[in-house]
Amino acid sequence: MALNFVLPSATAPATAVTASPATSARPAATATTSTSSQTATLGAVAAVAGLAMRKRNRSKISRNFSLQMPALPAMPFMVPPKKTVVITGASSGLGLAAAKALAEQGWQVVMACRDFQKAEKAAKEAGMDPENYQVMHCDLASKQSVRNFVQTFRTQYQSLDALVCNAAVYFPNAHKEGVFLPGLFPGGGPRWSAEGHEMSFAANYLGHFLLCNLLLEDLKKSAPRGTARCVILGTVTATVNGSELGGMIPPLAHVGNFEGLEQGMKAPVTMLDGGAFDGAKAYKDSKVCDVMLMKELHRRFHKETGIVFTSLYPGCIAETGLFREHYPVFQNLFPAFHKTVTKAYVSQEEAGKRLAAVVADDRYGTSGSYYSWEGEAGTGGGGGQDAVSNTDKDFDWFMNYGSFRTLSIDEIGGEAGDDQRCSGSVFLLARWDKDGSRVGERE
């Protein structure tokens, strides 16, 4: 802020030159000074007199001075703060598409990713505005990394409007020795987290369980504004409906009575039900637990805090990095099958907009809901019915009645529909892992 002032120039007082009495009374002998000295003296006196005359007659001149004042800080009522969302697994696929969609809506997107450089590159290639996103390192398969992420987040942000638990790993063939001949595309066996847990369980569920608990206080700060949401991704392959074909394809999700949790879920224990390792089933089991977690968080905290807890299935994203561990023939045929036969195919871009809607759209603010879409050419597809209205039972392409539809908390079925089992899973995990005590201590 520049302020201009006009000040008058200083006017020098006139200087009178008079003869000194001593000079006039000087003896005549001093008058014998040379002519050249007299001429120089008279010239100097004349110059002084002329300068004084010019100063006295000169008019006032305006002088401009610029005083730079410090800019005032922006006041809250002047610039509304951005809403902040944390999205796990935002370096590719659904997470990246949702991050881009929310950033374009003016949200501040915190991309919680295991590979920092990959996420930065992906965000730039997607054309995301650098002012609307920030990448932070977070490895969900490491509890210490999750804690570090939360600490870093809190040094830069005062509150949190939405948390999206999206990241997932999938090792469908990890339990297989190979196809056709042993050794051809071997599965490699179970992967292990930093703390020694089976990777699907650790990254898909345990890391998110801890993250939700640690960031619950941050979400509470936004709850009075009506913006706080926690969104946990589900999947059609671990049915919560009982009608979707995806949930009927073996191996079926089954967490049993959480025998694996009772045993600590460390090698050689790999499965939640304590059974033999199966890579595809481990993924499905972890997603069942994610929906259970959403339900239990809703039951325990929604009324008290106002935070909205939801889950969703955004449609069949047939082309995604989630299938990177699958056989190459599957990766090539799976998208074509859903594009031409089932019509269930959904692009990553459209799925990302659907996830963004569950985060930001007021219509998706019913806590405990499981929002579901079908494909682009089916129910809830592009130009079709949105998930918030997709509640009526109907026949899908496979003649399953009532599949691929949005469910209220009381309609969620399968193992995730068992309230006692949901509560038991959280209690066991809280007792088994002290980091979850904030949830487990409440019965």
- CA 437, CA 427: separation in Å to the nearest integer? 9
Q: How many residues does the chain have?
A: 443
- Give the model's confidence band at 362: pLDDT under 50 very low, under 70 low, under 90 confident, else very high: very high
- CA 154, CA 147: separation in Å to the nearest integer? 11
Which residue spans within 37-142 are E strands per DSSP?
62-68, 84-88, 108-113, 133-137
Per-residue model confidence as pLDDT tens digits over 312-324: 999 888 677 675 6
pTM for the model stands at 0.78
Per-residue model confidence as pLDDT tens digits over 342-355: 677 888 999 999 99
- Give the model's confidence band at 195: pLDDT under 50 very low, under 70 low, under 90 confident, else very high: very high
Q: Which domains does the chain have, with CATH numbers?
A: 1-16+38-72 (no CATH), 84-440 (3.40.50.720)
- CA 331, CA 326: separation in Å to the nearest integer? 7
Catalytic residues: 283
Between the alpha carbon of residue 359 and those of residues 19, 86, 90, 168, 176, the distances in Å are: 95, 11, 14, 19, 38
Q: What is the mean pLDDT of residues 356-380?
A: 87
Residue 86 has pLDDT above 70, yes or no: yes
Residue 395 has pLDDT above 60, yes or no: yes
Helix (H) or strand (E) holding 362: none
- CA 418, CA 292: separation in Å to the nearest integer? 9
